[in-house]
Amino acid sequence: MNLRKVAERVLAPRTLLVRRPMGTPLGDPGDRATQRSILETALGLLVDGSINPGAIRDYETVEDPS
């Protein structure tokens, strides 16, 4: 399933696209560092003034802009 296409059609106000297996969008069990990073990156979209309606951001890009 192409999750980007799904996200483009769902059109949530803001989407953080995470390349993860289904059922584990925040990371693997016990991987607290990754879980925290994904969660805080997602919540960060709420206060990102550059976000437009329906914006889709890749987690890898947002987390490591370089």
58 binds another protein (CB under 8 A): no
Q: Which residue in the set 4, 19, 32, 58 belongs to the binding site for another protein (CB under 8 A)?
A: 32
Of positions 4, 19, 33, 52, contacts another protein by CB under 8 A: 52
Q: Which of 10, 19, 58, 60 binds another protein (CB under 8 A)?
A: 10
Q: Count CA within 13 A, CB hemisphere, residue 59.
A: 19
DSSP string, 20-65: --TT-TT-STT-HHHHHHHHHHHHHGGG-TTPPTTEEEEHHHHH--
Contact footprint for another protein (CB under 8 A): 5-6, 9-14, 21-30, 32, 35-36, 39-40, 42-43, 46-47, 51-54
